[in-house]
Amino acid sequence: MIAERWAQLRAEIPAHVRIVAVTKSLPATAIAEAIAAGATEIGENYLQEARAKFASFLEGSPEPVEGFTKHFIGHVQSNKAKAIVETFDIVQSVDRIEAGLALAKAAAAAGKRLPILIQLNISPADRFGVRPEDAPELARELRAQESLLLDGVMAIGPLGASRADTSRAFELAAGVFKTIGGTTLSLGMSDDWREALRAGSTMVRLGSYLFGPRPAPARV
Ligand SMILES: *Cc1c(COP(=O)(O)O)cnc(C)c1O
């Protein structure tokens, strides 16, 4: 099922667009299945859950698996920055300078340069994300941090909106991406990835489209 979905997506989505398989609230076996199907990038929202799953996945596998990129796509709490930096390869959800500075400090202490994206708010119902008009200033502040590598923007489309409203929101995000620069425009989830591709997305984040409906989040 996952393998078929993956093959279908890879046939339909242009090769330069990266697909992040979002495994939040799913067991560690979902990560293994996604990787077996061809995924190389995994997205998780909750730090504790992700740490436990990455650990059990790595222990359970017959050979060492280091060949996948771990994306943090959940809300960044500054007091968790150190653990986030230890656990993930890229943080897509930096929406305020305090979170950026906490990540910068943790990355510097770990001797890393951490790739990040700015999370934009393009939906009135979304609690997180920087307002588009404030994004260039946040980008300037984040670029001043040597241990961060700001590489573009991420946004969550308006849930339950019309196709037209979704497309308008994605165009807005694409405009901000053009201003800020970088290589990655992370737009598009299970219900709106086609609109995202039309707006120029270079990275889609897919959960239920790949794995089927998810159980309620196991919040920690
Ligand atoms: C859950 C989540 C996704 C995947 O959602 P689906 O609708 O299941 O594809 C993508 N991005 C973020 C930020 C998420 O929280």
Do the domain assignments include residue 134? yes
At 121-172, the pLDDT tens digits run: 999 889 999 999 999 999 999 999 999 999 999 999 999 999 999 999 999 9
Q: Cα-atom radius of gyration of the chain, to the nearest Å?
A: 17
Question: Which residue has the CA at smallest separation from atom 4 of ligand 1?
Answer: 207
Q: Which one, of 207, 157, 155, lies nearest residue 184 by Cα?
A: 155
- Residue 219 belongs to a domain: no
Longest dimension (CA), the chain: 49
Q: What is the pTM of this model?
A: 0.95
User: What is the total count of domains within the chain?
Assistant: 1
- So what's the pLDDT on residue 65? 57
The CATH number given to whatever domain includes residue 182 is: 3.20.20.10
Cα 212 to chain centroid distance, Å, stands at 19
Which residue among 13, 22, 88, 210 has the greatest number of ligand 1 atoms within 8 angstroms of its CB, and so is best to mutate? 22
Instruction: Return the bridge partners of 187, or none.
Output: 155
CA of 75 to the centre of ligand 1 (A): 12
Beta bridge partners of 203: 18, 186
Nearest Cα residue to 147 out of 118, 119, 117, 115: 115
Residue 220 lies inside a defined structural domain of this protein: no
Taking the CA of residue 92 as reference, the ligand 1 atom at the shortest distance is: 13
Q: What is the pLDDT of residue 67?
A: 74
State the distance from the centre of ligand 1 to the C-alpha of 44, rounded, in angstroms.
9
Please state, in angstroms and as integers, the Cα–Cα distance from residue 176 to each residue in 5, 68, 149, following that order.
31, 29, 17
CA of 64 from ligand 1 middle (Å) equals 28
91 CA distance to ligand 1 middle (Å)? 14
Cβ atoms of 90 and 72 within 8 Å: the answer is yes
Q: Is the pLDDT of residue 110 over 90?
A: yes
Classify the C-alpha dihedral 155-18-33-76 as positive or negative. Answer: negative
- In angstroms, what is the span from residue 161 Cα to ligand 1's centroid? 16
Report the alpha-carbon distance of residue 29 to residue 70 in Å, rounded: 15
Q: Which atom of ligand 1 is nearest to the CA of 206?
A: 9
Residue 14 domain-assigned?
Answer: yes
Is residue 86 in a domain? yes
Q: What is the mean pLDDT of the chain?
A: 94
Instruction: Compute the distance between CA of residue 91 and CA of residue 117 in angstroms, rounded to an integer.
Output: 6
Out of 6, 205, 211, mutate this one to test ligand 1's pocket (max ligand atoms within 8 Å of CB): namely 205
Helix 163-180 to helix 135-143 angle (10° resolution) is: 40
**193 vs 13, 17, 41, 66, 155, CA distance in Å?**
9, 11, 17, 28, 12
Q: In the structure, which protein residues have their CB atom closer than 6 angstroms to any atom of ligand 1?
A: 22, 24, 45, 73, 156, 189-191, 205-209
Strand partners, 144: none
Residue pLDDT, tens place only, 37-80: 999 999 999 999 999 999 887 666 655 555 799 999 999 999 99
Among 73, 127, 185, 195, say which to mutate for ligand 1: greatest number of ligand atoms within 8 Å of CB: 73
Helix H segments across the chain? 2-12, 28-37, 47-60, 81-87, 97-109, 135-143, 163-180, 193-198, 208-211
DSSP secondary structure string for all residues of 116-131: EEEEE---TT-S-SB-
Domain that holds residue 153: 2-211
Q: And the tokens for 9?
A: 């997506």
Q: Does 217 map to a domain? A: no
Query: Cα–Cα–Cα angle for 29, 204, 105, nearest 5°?
Result: 80
Q: Would 166 be classed as within a structural domain?
A: yes
| Domain presence at residue 179 | yes
Distance from residue 166's CA to the centre of ligand 1 (Å)? 15
